[in-house]
Amino acid sequence: MSSIPPELKAFLDSGRGRLLIKGGPGVGKTCLSLEILNILREERKGIYITTRLQAESLLRAHPHLALSVKPVPAEDISRLSEELEEGKPILFPMVRLSRVRRSLGYLISLLEAIENPIVVFDSWQAFIDQFPPKLRHELLLETSNWAEQSRNIVIYVSESIREGKLDYIADGVVHLYHKSIEGRRIRLLEIKKLRGIPVRRCRYLFTLQGGRFTVLKDWEFKVVKKKDRRGTLFKKDLSQETVSTGIGELDKAIGGWKKGSINILEISRGVGEGYLSLVMPLAQANLNYGRGFLVIPSMGRSGYRIVENFLEGHVNKDKWGMFRFVQGSRTPGAREKDFVTYIDVSNPDEVAKQVLNVARKLSERSRDGVIICLIGMDTLELYIGAEKTLELLNNLAVYARSTGAIVFLLYKQGQEVSKMVLHLADKHLKLIRINDVVLFYGVIPYTPVYSIYTETSRGYPQSRVKMVI
């Protein structure tokens, strides 16, 4: 996971000197500018000039900075070059200086003696707004000319989102802002311009979790090469009544999956197979433990493909019999396999009975009688219609409550049956996709937004989630 967008990193590496970071209060401008200083600390000498806050206030808001920056009192301004020799970026509270314009000129004369500096003015707008318009322009030109002529980097942090002279003078402009999703906040960075740098993507989602600026990772579910695969490890149940989600952060957020529960995974347009990051590691680990896993696939999914891509090498072959992929019709030319069960959907009244029979057989063989079911409701609705689908799901809910089965109902927004099943839900998660990042949040229980991605460095899928705060 990257700290900043690759285009912005390329821009900074090119040495193009003037970057404007703009956005309203609290969007993450300070965190981004400090992250840039941290990234470039080996290449450039960082100077963070706070024009609004005392150094102590900034360190209270960002305690992790105490390990990576060094506060320098205003009276030590003449010793900037010496302080920078220690290698840490310095934190300089310009708010304490008197006769600011003369001090700014004096500061620039000191900066000229420093090799490869990167200077952050936070907040530039708050600093220049205290002066008459003519003097503001002179102050802007003074810092801008120094950066352009010396090929050093100056970062202007501004709380004004309106276009001004600095937008045109700066070589790069990025805008940070909030967006609301059903009362939950996400954060976006928009690249307005980066001179000389191809911009592959202009918008990125990011989080400030842990006080650090971090761009969120695009979703992908890599299939591990068979020769490199390792068995998925079983994650111990959270309690006698609750199964782990397989993701530590998600266990903390929703408390795991309760045995005997009905759980809705609501899929928005564009999510595609993004839900696999939530259910596939859970299925693999529990199959290895000896629990059954029943799938009525969402439309277009193949049981053979699931076994080939997600079970082989990850699940012990002697456990494959605990996996049941239920199909309503035989694929032309398909070979009979132990893991595929065909049901007759020509008589909708009989479908529920057939599905429950498959579930009971799995439960009888399960290590503790518990099985996991993933039900693609679009498939059921196509097979037997909305009314019979609701009837089947009610029967499945009764079965789950009595046996401890954990049922996931996978439905896509816009399905006729969707509103009719909400009353069944013990937990309800919504998945959305924005800028190639898969996000989810809990409706039941209420949670903030999380991003989800999958790593395969250990030879099996490990899902990770990050809170978007």
CATH number of the domain that residue 280 is part of: 3.40.50.300
Among 215, 241, 275, give the residue marking a domain's end. Answer: 215
Alpha-carbon separation of residue 366 from 10, 62, 294, 360 (angstroms): 54, 50, 12, 10
Does 220 reside within a domain? no
Among 191, 215, 239, give the residue marking a domain's end. Answer: 215
Domain total of the chain: 2
* Helix (H) or strand (E) segment spanning residue 155: strand 153-158
235 vs 448: CA distance, rounded Å: 24
Token code pair at residue 59: 């360190």
The answer on 276 and 156 residing in a single domain is: no
Mean pLDDT of 267-279: 91
Does 166 reside within a domain? yes
The answer on 232 and 171 residing in a single domain is: no
Strands 117-122 and 153-158: parallel
Candidate from 83-92, 315-324, 327-336, 403-412 with smallest mean pLDDT: 327-336
Band of pLDDT at residue 424, cut at 50, 70 and 90: confident
Q: Give the residue numbers spanning the domain of 351.
A: 226-467
The answer on 325 and 449 residing in a single domain is: yes
User: Nearest to residue 10, comparing CAs of 40, 30, 32?
Assistant: 40
Does 318 reside within a domain? yes
Predicted TM-score (pTM) of the model is 0.90
The answer on 265 and 172 residing in a single domain is: no
What are the tens digits of pLDDT across the range 381-422?
888 988 888 889 999 999 999 999 999 999 887 776 666 788
Does 461 reside within a domain? yes
The answer on 189 and 101 residing in a single domain is: yes
The answer on 126 and 268 residing in a single domain is: no
Does 370 reside within a domain? yes
The answer on 155 and 244 residing in a single domain is: no
The answer on 310 and 210 residing in a single domain is: no
| Residue whose structure tokens are 């990770």 | 464
Q: Please report which residue ranges of 219-306 form alpha helices under DSSP H.
A: 248-254, 276-289, 303-306
Mean pLDDT of 265-286: 92
- Position 333 scores a pLDDT of 47
What are the tens digits of pLDDT across the range 318-327?
998 899 999 8
b/e per residue, 101-140, with b = 16+ CB within 10 A?
eeebeebbebbeebeebbbbbbbbbbbbeeeeeeebeebb
The answer on 313 and 182 residing in a single domain is: no
158 vs 313: CA distance, rounded Å: 53
Does 88 reside within a domain? yes
404 vs 329: CA distance, rounded Å: 29
Among 157, 190, 215, give the residue marking a domain's end. Answer: 215
| Residue whose structure tokens are 């002529």 | 149
User: Given a cut of 70, is residue 125 above it in pLDDT?
Assistant: yes
- Position 175 scores a pLDDT of 98
> Are 220 and 454 within 8 A, CB to CB?
yes
The answer on 248 and 341 residing in a single domain is: yes
Q: Mean pLDDT, the chain, as a whole number?
A: 86
Does 49 reside within a domain? yes
The answer on 270 and 419 residing in a single domain is: yes
Q: Please report which residue ranges of 123-197 form alpha helices under DSSP H.
A: 124-128, 133-150, 165-169
Give the DSSP per-residue string, 282-314: HHHHHHHHT-EEEEEPPTT--HHHHIIIIITTT
The answer on 233 and 206 residing in a single domain is: no
Does 1 reside within a domain? no
